Structure formats: C-alpha cells, structure tokens
Homo-oligomer: A and B are copies of this chain.
C-alpha cells in the first residue's frame, strides 16, 4: 500500500507538471492550449510506463489501452486534464490518476483481463475557454455540431476551429472521432465531488444517480453610452444600472427555491461596454448558468427570469435580448452500473452515498451512448475551480480501490448484455 500511495503521489504531481510546493498556486490549463497538451504528454509517458497502447483521436482525446484483443469490447474509464482559469489540480486529474492506478493495481496482481480496458483523457472538458464544455466526449459520441461551433471565439478571439488546428488536429477530420456503439461496453468516470456533501456525511464514495445539466443564457442589456460628467441623472439609459437588478433577481429567486429543488443559478460572466471611467455603460452582457437535476424546475426558473427581463425592459428605456446558449436535459445514469459500483465500494469496506451531481462531466455525453457510471470522492470544504481545491491521498487511494475492484469483478465475468 505504501508503494501505491507513493506512486499516486508522484503521478499526481507529474500529471499537473508541478510539485508539492507549487500545487496550491493553481492552474490555467485551458482546453486546446499548449498547457493542456503538456498534461496529455505527461499522461502518455505514464501510460507508456505501464505498457499501455497510446494514441490520440481526431478530436484530441488521448487514449491509453490495456489491449487484449482488438475485436473485443472495451471497458472505458476517463476524465480530463484541462482546467478552468486559475483552477485546482484535482478536477479531472483525480479521475485520470485513479484510472491509471486501478490498471496498475490489476497488473501488479497479475490479473489477466478477458477484454480491453481503456483510459480516455478527454480534450477540453471545461467551458472556461469557449463557453462550451466536454468537447472531447461530445466528439466521440457524435454530439458536435461542427458548423455551429467553428467560429466561437475565446477571449483573445481565437476560434475553436483555429485552436483545434493549433493543437495539431485537422478540423476537417474531427467528425471521425465518433465511435461505433459496439466499440465500448461501458464507461466509468471518477471525479472529485466539487461540493461538500460527502465531507459533511463522512462518506468515502458517492455513487451518482443524476447529473444536472445547465440552461445557459447570454443576456444583452443595451442602453446608451454617454459622458458621465455631463449627462443628467434623469436622462440616462445606463445599461449597468438596469443589469444590477437582474443579478440580484437571479440570486434571490434561486435562494428561495434552492432548499426544495436543489436549483442553483449564477450570473457568472459580465462584459461591460465601453468600460471606461468617464463613459456611462452603454451595453452589458451577462452569462447566466442555471442548474437542477429536475428539468421542470430549471425551465420554470428560466421563464420567471425572462418575465422579469420583459418588465425591466418595459419600465426602463433599455432593450434586453436573451440568447439561449445551452439547454440540455439532465441525465440519469445506468442503474445496473450504479449497483455494481455500490457493491465494489462495499467490498472494499468503504462508506458510500447515493447522490446527484450539480456539475456536468464527460460521463453525461458517454451515458447517451453507453451504460455509464460516475463515482465521486470527497474534496475539502467543497472548494473547486480554485487553487485551494484539495482531496487527500486517502481519498485517491479509496477511489482507485473501487475502480480496481469493479474492473476485477467485470473482467472475470462475461460482458454486460
């Protein structure tokens, strides 16, 4: 066990390209950047060390396969190595790390698998760069609308298309990343919870049932830019003044329904134009993220917000345009797989909890094509997407144990179905 702990620790720092001193400084390893590529390269080196077959697919996912027979099905595990701006070292990395560890543990035990086991490092899981999440897993499940996303730009106005080409891929070929259904048997993701339910309940492992997927709006409030010193207070059309109550509304209304519906809603981005000290704001663009595993609750909330915007528009001399960026149905994960994971965790003597996920993960795309499961391990105080994000080595060991036990049970039996 000491050896495993050391291996996990070393591999954790290797995947993050950092060391113990610097791990809490945070990472901005955005999707399709050279920083993400560097982490993928670290993954390749580690997988090579384990004797796995490695390759990159057409959308930039990095694969490592413990290959028995190409004609056989594959049990896949995976997560991602990209981060948000100034994110932590565990979101995504924990899943890749425990998947690698589970294979290493099976190899150390001389288990001979009867089918293939793959680990997938999904490209660009976070929406931080382009406002679109899980690009890699959308790619292999055929959920990318190439023409629709090609020209979406990052904050430096580089488009997805350009970024993917700079990543060394061919834009024309990205659709070829889509996999036939019979290629994969089942898919498993392990992830830090990014909340504090497991910590509060002193549980080791969360077995996820539902994944909440967001409605996302881009809301443009348009007033009139003018001079701050010479425009009378009663003749202004200040877009920021009209946007402020929208921010308060989203928060206040979500507070009201949170307890009963676990809906969360956030105004998470704001762009002000012209954003100069002596000019009244002429335009404000808000990015709004609304989530609940209950789709109806999500839609009711969205409708309420839209009605509030209409009122604001009528009462004040501004226009408000609401563009729906994303409106995806929430996901329920495979029930059989949930039970298998529960048993695997219990066999390892771990305390488990059935729960939902407020965050989206690559698994939600995979679940639309293959039986899929999601395991949570606790993270400290629920802090995530932040340099202080942390989970202990103990939790990483336990996560690896569950994956290893699950695989061992599966590989000794016939495929599902």
Contact = CB atoms under 8 A, between A and B. Distances in A.
Nearest to A360: B229
- The 7 A-B pairs at the shortest CB distance, nearest first, are namely A195-B230, A229-B358, A233-B258, A229-B359, A194-B230, A244-B247, A230-B358
A128 B276 contact: yes
Given A235-B196, A270-B272, A279-B128, A241 B251 contact: yes
Interface string A267-307: 11111101111111110000101010000000000000000
A394 to B, nearest CB: 21
A159 interface: no
A335 interface: no
Contact of A264 (B232, B248, B254): B232
Interface in A345-393: 357-360, 382-386
Nearest to A359: B229
A211 to B, nearest CB: 9
Contacts of A360: 229
A212 B231 CA distance: 13
A124 to B, nearest CB: 13
Number of copies: 2
A133 interface: yes
A18 interface: no
A393 B265 CA distance: 53
A214 B274 CA distance: 19
B240 A278 contact: no
A224 interface: yes
| A212, A270, A279: residue with the most chain B Cβ atoms closer than 10 Å | A279
Nearest to A216: B277
Contacts of A276: 84-85, 127-128, 268-269, 385
A317 to B, nearest CB: 14
Interface residues of A, number: 69
Contacts of A274: 84-86, 128, 385
A415 interface: no
Contacts of A385: 225-227, 274, 276, 278-279
Given A225-B386, A359-B230, A287 B277 contact: yes
| A243, A269, A277: residue with the most chain B Cβ atoms closer than 10 Å | A277
B358 A282 contact: no
A382 to B, nearest CB: 6
A414 to B, nearest CB: 37
A16 B278 CA distance: 21
Nearest to A126: B278
Given A247-B241, A248-B244, A382 B226 contact: yes
Contacts of A289: 228-229, 277-278
A269 B273 CA distance: 8
Contacts of A384: 226-227, 230
Interface string A249-269: 001001100100000111111
Interface string A170-186: 00000000000000000
B228 A270 contact: no
| A84, A228, A272: residue with the most chain B Cβ atoms closer than 10 Å | A228
A278 B229 contact: no
